[in-house]
A and B are shown apart, each in its own frame.
Chain A
Amino acid sequence: MTAESSDGDSPAGGVLRFLVDEIGERAGVAIRDVRRLSGAGNARDAWSLDVSWIDGHDRTEQACVMLVKADGGQLETGLALEFRTLQALQDTEVPVPKPLWLDESGRWIGRPFFITALVPGTADERALRSNTGAAERVMLDLATAVARLHRLVPPLLEGSEGSYPVTAETAAARQLEEWKDVFHRNQLGPQPAVSFAFAWLEAHAPVAEAVSLVHGDLRLGNVLHDKGRLTCLLDWEMAHLGDPIEDLAWLYRRLWNAAPLLDPSQFLDRYRAESGFEVSSRHLAYYALFSEVKHAVISMTAARSFHDGRTCNLRMADRHASVATVMSEFYRLVSL
């Protein structure tokens, strides 16, 4: 077995030992070109690597991406659920990377990680913002892909339903319950604007048109595209069973600024045609409000990780200050 790396702090040695354990001592496992990738977000570190092994008489070569759980992050989710989600979505019409290997234990490189096949493309939004034709095609591809995701019949995430089933009637309440719990565990001081927002959302929770697998972090930064077409949906760490409209509202948050790439009405036209869902404006408006509160809680979780010394990532240090920005958006939207 051999390992080549071009980065000094690379986990190549531990990954190679893991792969030998997974694939087999006699398979001649080798890894090379282990490189750190930028732009993987604050919850994980990403690496690219090439893996090869002997399968029968032939040597198989596989370009891969490895996602390593950060020491402390803005999310409390584990990697296993995300890996299982990717497994569940194989052989569907939803474009996702092929999951290959998972280590939940952290014993090989000190932290849990999983490896997927590399999918061509970039998640760099700047390429789309400077090319309106490509942006429109990718956004329409995204509408189709999300509609296909939402048409899948749950349960795809068996065992993740918690104490009671997610139904059309309970979908909103389940998400509120989960995020409120995260809020209470991570707030660093009183947050009356958030508390009142939760109370408002609980009082106005809609009944879902359907229950589906929801991506949970659907935005351009998690969309891989190549030559002006969507190639893959990334970052499924917040995937859950819920109300599909949640994804649409999250995508078109003002903070992400997706509207200049494709007018929301055009996106919804494609989505409605592909999914068959009605998507009322009132329903969408509810999840726009929910999205701001969810983001506020994510920011608090990031700040809490830094405050408690679970991460040294300075990009999380003052995320608590961003809560006022997103909660102002909540109160602006609710008054419209």
Chain B
Amino acid sequence: MRPLPHELLGMVAAALTDTVLPALTDGPARRQLKAAISIIARSAAAIPLMDQYLREDIDDVASTLDGLGADVGRTRLPGVARGPTVPDLIVEHDAVHAELESFCEAVDAAMGGDLAALLVRVLDRELALGLSPWRLS
């Protein structure tokens, strides 16, 4: 089944850039098309990375929370059984992130330690997907 969905999206972004964008003069329509091309291109690049990203992030958050939970006497909430598909992984990812968010709201906000390090790793992994429209030099 070629092209794969992400390959197709990449080709669509390239075709729009090469053929439609030059035909539009500066204005709202051109700016909207540029935004759409950027979203399509970044999504095309991120799709092949999603499975590995989700598995690594879930494992890291869950295991770090286990450690932190033991430290403060909390018990991990039961997670969602991991399925083989990306939609299954997204459900599990949402569950562990919801638990992490609850934990963040409950702890003393002293910066540093395992929790802050985990949050930095979570953000770094998300940025590595390349979905953000902005980069800081």
Minimum C-beta distance from B120 to chain A (A): 5
Indicate if B50 sits at the interface (CB-CB under 8 A): no
5 nearest A-B residue pairs (beta carbon): A199-B109, A190-B97, A196-B104, A314-B35, A321-B131
A196 to B122, CA, bound (A): 13
- Within 95-109 of B, Cβ neighbours of A (below 8 Å) are at 97-98, 100-101, 103-105, 107-109
CB within 8 Å of B: which A202-247 residues = 202-204
Determine the chain B residues whose CB is within 8 A of the CB of A204 once the complex forms: 109
If A38-B27, A203-B109 touch, whether A189 touches B97 (CB-CB below 8 Å) is yes
Q: Is A156 in the interface zone, CB < 8 Å from B?
A: no
- On chain A, the residues within 8 Å of B119 by CB distance are 192-193, 196, 331
Q: A100 near B: Cβ within 8 Å?
A: no
Contact check, B115 vs A196: say whether CB atoms are below 8 A apart.
Answer: yes
State whether A325 and B109 are in contact (beta carbons under 8 Å apart), knowing that A195-B101, A317-B39 are contacts in the complex: no
- Give the B interface residue count (CB, 8 A): 38
- In Å, the complex CA distance between A317 and B43 comes to 12
Contacts of A192 in B (CB 8 A): 97, 100-101, 103-104, 119, 122
Give B20-58 as 1s and 0s: 1 = Cβ < 8 Å from A's Cβ atoms.
Answer: 000000111001100110010010000000000000000
- Some 6 contacts from A to B, beta carbons below 8 A apart, are A190-B94, A192-B103, A318-B131, A325-B135, A334-B116, A335-B116
Measured between alpha carbons, how far is A245 from B101 in the docked complex, in Å? 29
- In the complex, the answer to whether A322 meets B133 with C-beta atoms within 8 Å is yes
Q: Counting CB contacts under 8 A, is A315 at the interface?
A: yes
Report whether A331 and B132 are in contact in the complex, using a CB–CB cutoff of 8 Å: no
- Whether B32 pairs with A313 at a CB distance below 8 angstroms is yes
Contact residues in B for A325 (Cβ distance below 8 Å)? 127, 132, 134-136
How far, in Å, is B132 (CB) from chain A's closest CB? 5
B124 within 8 Å of A by Cβ? yes
Q: Which of B32, B126, B127 is the one whose CB lies under 8 Å from A314?
A: B32
- In the complex, the answer to whether A329 meets B136 with C-beta atoms within 8 Å is yes
Besides A195-B104, A203-B108, A321-B131, 8 other A-B contacts (C-beta < 8 A) = A38-B27, A190-B94, A196-B109, A196-B115, A196-B119, A199-B109, A200-B111, A313-B32
For B110, the chain A residues whose CB sits under 8 A away are 203
A202 to B104, CA, bound (A): 13
User: Could you say which residues of chain B place their CB within 8 Å of the CB of A117?
Assistant: none
Q: Does B4 contact A (CB under 8 A)?
A: no
B123 at the A interface (CB under 8 A):
yes
Which of under 10, 10 to 19, 20 to 34, or 35 or more describes the interface residues of A?
20 to 34
Query: Is B134 touching A255 in the complex (CB atoms < 8 A)?
Result: yes
Are A324 and B126 in contact, CB atoms less than 8 angstroms apart? Answer: yes
> Contacts of A318 on B, CB cut-off 8 Å?
39, 42, 131, 133
Chain B, residue nearest A327 (CB): B123
Beta-carbon contacts of B40-79 to A below 8 Å, as 1s and 0s? Answer: 0010000000000000000000000000000000000000
- Chain B residues, Cβ within 8 Å of A321: 42, 131-133
Q: How many Å from the CB of B102 to the closest CB on chain A?
A: 8
Nearest chain A residue, comparing its CB with the CB of B27: A38
Residues of B within 8 A of A190 (CB): 94, 97-98, 100-101
Q: Are B35 and A255 in contact (CB under 8 A)?
A: no
Q: Which of the residues A36, A193, A203 comes within 8 Å of B123, measured between beta carbons?
A: A193
Tell me the bound Cα distance from A38 to B30 in angstroms. 12
Question: What 1/0 flags go to A307-336 for Cβ under 8 Å of B?
Answer: 000000111011101101111110100110
Q: A315 and B32: CB pair below 8 A?
A: yes
Evaluate whether A317 and B27 lie within 8 angstroms (CB atoms) in the complex, with A322-B133, A331-B123 already known.
no
A185 CB–B CB distance under 8 Å: no
Known A192-B122, A317-B39; contact A331-B116, beta-carbon cutoff 8 A: yes
Cβ distance A305 to chain B, nearest Cβ, rounded Å? 14
Chain B residues lying within 8 Å of A254, measured Cβ to Cβ, are 136
